Structures are given as C-alpha cells and as structure tokens.
Amino acid sequence: MNLDLINNLFNNAKNSQFVKDFIKELSETLQKSDKNVEQNNLKQEDVLYQVVEMDVDGAYLYNTNNNIISKETEIPEEFLDKIGNDTVLRYKNGEYIIEEELTQKFMDSLVDVKEYKEIQDKFLKESNILQNGENTRYKIEERKSDYSILSFGENNEHIIEVPNALIPFWTNSNDNLYFKNRKFNRE
C-alpha cells in the first residue's frame, strides 16, 4: 500500500473548505452545548447563589456549592430591580427568592482593604503558616463568630486558629482549603 497516497488524501482533506466549514460548525455547536450545560446546571433546587454582577439582561450568579459563576437571563425584570451585587438568592420551587438575612450577614462580614491587610499581616506574622507550603490542605473543623479552627497535617493533628476575615465566606465545617498567594482558597 502506498502511504504517500494516503498522506496526500489526508492533507487535501484537511485543506478542503468543506472540511474547514464542518470543523468550524462542529466547534460552534460544542460551545453552545457547553453553555447550555452550564446554564442548566445553574438552577439547582434549594441552592444558594450570590449575585456577582448585574447585567442588562440578567445577572451573573455564583453557585455557593460548586464555585461556578454563570449568567442567568431567565429572571423576571421586576425581580432584577430588587436585587444588586452581593444579594444572596435561593432557587426554590422553580424561582429565585431573596435571602435577606444571609445577604445582611455577608455584608456584615466584609472588611475594607486596609483592615483586611492588617488582619492578614498579623496572622502571617503570628502563625508561621508560610512554612507549611502551598500543598498543605486545611480542614475547617469549626467556625466561631470571629475565627475558624482549621486542622492540617497527615492525620489532621495540627490545629490553627484563623480570623474569619481570611476564610472564604461560603465555606462550612469539613470544607477543605489551601493557602496560596497569602490567602485561603476553597478547594
């Protein structure tokens, strides 16, 4: 069998306008499919969402369970007028409802940049956390009003107290974190 013949056929097919158009159309279809999957995953029953950004035809919502941000365009206009950035919503019985207490709790947890930097610097100085390395995983054992107790090590034998201002807001007990670029991140 002549391999040059097969190579020529293959190269001609790659350069064919028909093949290029087919690949382009297939790529666009796959991208649309990915967006549909993302949007379908957005509406999960009894899940909390936080408005990340308002848009003229909807809002970008942060799913607090899986850390995915998706654009939601199927929100009634009168409801869009009642919400803003950082509003906490719950999807229940086929519609979004505003979680006013959680929204207020989130707002109360915010600190300004200067205060955050002071808390961060003090924690870094007193905890020696930078010696643990970026691969260290921390498990939230308990969340208290001002700080959280995290365990780490091979058998979670080490304990560290971390100010809540440094812990991502949408974490719970038993969630895992890692420390990178001077801040805790949800795994």
112-166, pLDDT tens digit by residue? 999 999 999 999 999 989 999 889 999 999 999 899 999 999 999 999 999 999 9
Statement: residue 19 has pLDDT above 70: no
What local confidence, expressed as pLDDT, does residue 118 receive? 96
Statement: residue 76 has pLDDT above 70: yes
Residue ranges with strand state E in 42-173: 47-55, 58-63, 69-72, 88-92, 95-98, 137-143, 147-152, 158-163
This prediction has a pTM of 0.67
Amino acid at 33: S
CA atoms 148, 153, 154, 157: torsion sign: negative
pLDDT-derived band at 31, boundaries 50, 70, 90: low
The sheet with strand 137-143 has its strands ordered as 158-163, 147-152, 137-143, 176-180, 183-186
